[in-house]
Amino acid sequence: MSEHGQYLAQVEKLVASQALHGSESLCKLLRYLAKHALEQPGIPLKEYQIATELFGRQPDFDPQLDSMVRVQAGRLRSKLGEYYGSEGADDPVWVELPKGTYVLTFHQGSPGVGRGHAGGSHEMSREVASAQRAGGKLGIAVGVLSVALVVAVGIIGALLNARRSGRDVQAAEREAVPAAFQIFWKGFLTGPEEPWVIFSNAAFVGRPDLGLRYYNSAHDAKEQIFDHYTGVGEVLAVHNLDTVFGQLHQTIRVKRGSLFSLDDAKNNDLIFIGSPSENLTLLEIPGTQEFVFRSVPAGPRKGNMEIINVHAQAGEPNEVLASPANVALTEDYAVIGLVHGLNPERSVLILAGTTTIGTQAAVEYVCGQESLQELLRRLSVTQRGELKPFEALLHVKVARGVPVGTELVAIRKLKP
């Protein structure tokens, strides 16, 4: 196999490793950097180029305001150290991402270990020569074994340093994450398993090529149900959550609502994306109490989804709806609810709008530094461990199907 082929094979081995298992964004970054390094050797990469070409950031991306590329590169650097400090210690090709650059380097064997071997060979020859001059075979054996032990200790030290370096880098990067993220998401970082993200996929009947409509149990009992679809807001929401948890060095598990079970609800921290009208699992577990979703029972908006403000305070609306279906969507409302689950030791976060755009806005709100700071300030939370169950109501301004502004309308601290 050519040298180029060996390097590509090593990249794919890294992608399939335990160290990078479940880190799709890091695998994408590794392949991207490897392709650039092999096809354009010696040419540096810029943050802006990576952000716009690989991660889909807009042309106005500013590296000074958005550290996403630096964080992802740091995570990848840490994972490479973790891999070569354990399962990849004996690999013939080592891949490195030197600090201060986005250009991968490839080496035949570990650079550190390789230098140790070279020095070991020199020391071994000196010891053997000395032993030969002494004229004793036992002296030769002792000298060889002693140097072999020194070399082995050096290799072990190098591997331990690689592991320690990976842990130190990861810890430093976690501390570099904005404090608001660490405070708000702490409950989803300390569980025994990665949190589940459950996105809505309502039941439809009909055919995708001829038209689908919501399933109605009163009329469609014998129809074939399709549950393969979700809204654009839910798709973008999963991406935003994955990005935030990546910065926090935590992976997430994603599952559509129709496949979710009560056993999952009992044993895991959960993040629900979408309202109970489409994320039907929310009808079976504890949900929001202060801002409740319901279908409008009568009147010209009958059947539309609305949010009831159960204990409306002065100046707050009693009920809110998105723009009517027969006009362009210009406003929506959404709920953020942090509640206890079936297992009180587990956290449940509900992020839901009356439409898919409202749902997207709710997720963006808890994935943005400034909006999270506003939320924590309104809750009087200043440090990790202080965040308690709450519910918040958001008003969302929409333009051309995109949430362009979100206002915190009301907030409630829940009683234990």
Residue 222's pLDDT band (cuts 50, 70, 90): low
CB 6 within 8 A of CB 92: yes
CB 180 within 8 A of CB 186: no
Strands 402-413 and 390-399: antiparallel
Enter the pTM of the model: 0.58
What span, in angstroms and rounded, lies between the C-alpha atoms of 84 and 86?
Answer: 5
Q: Classify the C-alpha dihedral 384-265-276-310 as positive or negative.
A: negative
The CB density around residue 170, as the number of other CB atoms within 10 Å, is: 18
Which tokens go with 326?
């027969």
| CA–centroid distance for 20 within its chain | 13
Q: Which of 3-7, 82-86, 254-258, 360-364 has the highest mean pLDDT?
A: 360-364
Residue 324's pLDDT band (cuts 50, 70, 90): very high
What span, in angstroms and rounded, lies between the C-alpha atoms of 277 and 293?
Answer: 8
Amino acid at 303: G
Non-local (6+) Cβ contacts of 103 within 8 A are: 33, 36, 37, 43, 44, 45, 97
Query: How much is the pLDDT for 116?
Result: 37
Query: How much is the pLDDT for 280?
Result: 65
The residues that bridge with 309 in the sheet, in sequence order, are 291
Residue 285's pLDDT band (cuts 50, 70, 90): low
What span, in angstroms and rounded, lies between the C-alpha atoms of 237 and 181?
Answer: 16
Query: How much is the pLDDT for 145?
Result: 46
Percent pLDDT > 70 in the chain is 78
Residue 376's pLDDT band (cuts 50, 70, 90): very high
The CB density around residue 259, as the number of other CB atoms within 10 Å, is: 11
Residue 154's pLDDT band (cuts 50, 70, 90): low
Q: Poorest-confidence range of 63-77, 92-106, 155-169?
A: 155-169
| Residue 343 or residue 163, greater confidence | 343
Asked if the model's pLDDT at residue 292 lies above 60, the reply is: yes
Element (H or E) spanning 153, and its range?
helix 137-176
Query: How much is the pLDDT for 169?
Result: 47
Non-local (6+) Cβ contacts of 105 within 8 A are: 37, 95, 96, 97, 98
Query: How much is the pLDDT for 374?
Result: 95
Angle at 296 between CA 295 and CA 301, to 5 degrees: 125
Asked if the model's pLDDT at residue 174 lies above 90, the reply is: no
Q: In 3-state terms, what secondary structure has residue 238?
A: helix
Query: How much is the pLDDT for 403?
Result: 93
Query: How much is the pLDDT for 328?
Result: 92
Query: How much is the pLDDT for 130?
Result: 42
Q: Poorest-confidence range of 261-270, 312-321, 390-399?
A: 261-270
DSSP result, 250-304: ---EEEEGGG--HHHHHHS-EEEES-TTT-GGGGSS---SSEEEEE--SSTTTT-
Query: How much is the pLDDT for 396?
Result: 96
Q: In 3-state terms, what secondary structure has residue 75?
A: helix
What span, in angstroms and rounded, lies between the C-alpha atoms of 211 and 245?
Answer: 37
Q: Classify the C-alpha dihedral 261-266-267-268 as positive or negative.
A: positive
Query: How much is the pLDDT for 113?
Result: 43
Looking at residues 215-232, what average pLDDT do you find? 72
| Residue 92 DSSP label | S
Q: What is the pLDDT of residues 203-220, one digit of tens each?
A: 777 777 777 777 777 777
What span, in angstroms and rounded, lies between the C-alpha atoms of 327 and 153?
Answer: 73
Name all contacts of 87-90 with Cβ < 8 Å and 24+ positions apart: 87/17, 87/18, 87/19, 88/13, 88/14, 88/17, 88/19, 89/159
Query: How much is the pLDDT for 160?
Result: 53
Amino acid at 173: E
Looking at residues 41-62, what average pLDDT do you find? 86
| Residue 129 or residue 158, greater confidence | 158
Nearest CA-CA partner of 178 in 103, 226, 247: 247
The CB density around residue 364, as the number of other CB atoms within 10 Å, is: 19
Q: What is the pLDDT of residues 397-410, one digit of tens each?
A: 999 999 999 999 99
> 159: exposed, middle or buried (C-beta count within 10 Å: 0-12, 13-18, 19+)?
middle
CATH of the domain spanning 180-413: 3.30.379.10
